[in-house]
Amino acid sequence: MAVIYPAAFFMAVTMGQMTLGMVLYARLVLAAGGTRIGALAGIWSLTYVFGCLVVRPWFNRVLPRYLVMGSTATMAGTVLAMLGLETYCMLLVLYAIFGLALSLFWPPLMGWVSTNVEGPHLGRVIGRYNMSWCSGAVISPFICGWLSAVDPRYPLMLAVGLMLFICVFVAVASRFLPGIGVDRGTGAAHDALPGDTDSSSPLRFPAWIGLYASFFGMGTLTAIFPLVAMETWDTLESMIGLVFTVRGLANVAGFILLGRIHAWHHKWIPMVAAQWVAVVTLIALSLAGSVITAAGLLAVFGISNAMSYASSFFHGTAGSLNRARRMAIHESVLAAGLVSGSVAGGWIYEKLASSIVFFVVAMILAGLTMLQTMMGRSQETRMKEPLLKR
């Protein structure tokens, strides 16, 4: 945990520089339109999904610490190459490679942190892990907005430095921390203890629907909210970063609460309720009259997002023998939501009207949440069975 939690924190800071920083870089340096920005914000997610499902299994027996070092070094190289470009097409290609390399970071790390942990202890471990990466997500948008106001290239430069730091940090820890050097856990099925049986929770299916829906909304917010804020309220880049920081703080608060409370474990109603809150929040955001109101609504969305993420993480790993694979699915669903949300939001923003972006996305989320509700109800009988009989 002395390696996993800090690595998650610094990578979250890095991803904040990349996701928001790339939107601002494309807008301010390349003068890209809404559709191009949406595609750029989504391309890394698309290749990330492909990497999680297709590329990652090739490295199933490679220890997580080696994957973390290799992926961060590769990502740092691609971002460094981006800094020398001012053409959209090559930027798109390099961002796609970045997504592939990222698929060798998060799923192995998440499978590693949850190996051989169950029940309330699993909930606490997940809560601490989520608090680690989400704490990085809190400060990252503010840093990105402040740096972008000085020079749009600075967030990407910081991302390079942080990824190289993670690579060196894990390498040094593997050399000098005995617990890391002897660890052979990968979170994969071949590491299961003798006599272990798979007792996976059926709630992972509605949880994955909720995760997709939540990050569909998140993809739209990440890619399009900065454009709407600058266009509608003449908001500065630093203020946009502060708004996303507020959302991140709400995320952290949600993860802290969910890590301490276990009543939501193996229950479908809390995850569905959180999604309906997200729907209402996006409808209200479409009517917001100021950036201050929008900041409060994004905070509510952040709490809802924490429930969706934690539900997918917990119910995906609980009772599973192949947690690295489950976390690859978790990350693939998450990334699919981000890419489709960012592309759809960009298209609506450019082709229809910026004023209806969040309302249309809210209606999409409402349809997905109805599907999640029906699937949750269908699992009610199975939820009442003893966990080991599932």
Q: Give the rounded distance of the alpha carbon of 373 from its chain centre.
A: 23
Distance between CA atoms of 185 and 68, rounded to whole angstroms? 14
Residue 5 is classified by DSSP as H
- Write the single-letter amino acid at 175: R
pLDDT for res 210: 95
258-303 confidence digits (pLDDT tens): 888 888 888 889 999 999 999 999 999 988 878 889 999 999 999 9
Per-residue confidence (pLDDT) for residue 382, from 0 to 100: 61
How much is the pLDDT for 390?
44
Residue in the structure block whose two tokens are 């709400």: 250
The C-alpha atoms of residue 44 and residue 347 are separated, in whole angstroms, by 18
Which secondary-structure segment (H or E) carries 376?
Answer: helix 357-378
Q: Which residues contact 234 (CB under 8 A, 6 or more apart)?
A: none
Please tell me the predicted confidence (pLDDT) of residue 119. Answer: 66
Cα 124 to Cα 202, 256, 286, distances in angstroms? 21, 9, 36
Q: What pLDDT shows up at residue 290?
A: 85
Query: What pLDDT was estimated at residue 141?
Result: 77
Low-confidence ranges of the chain (pLDDT < 50): 387-390
Q: Return the C-alpha torsion angle 38, 304, 108, 134, nearest 10.
A: 90
CA distances from 229 to 17, 144, 354 (A): 19, 16, 10
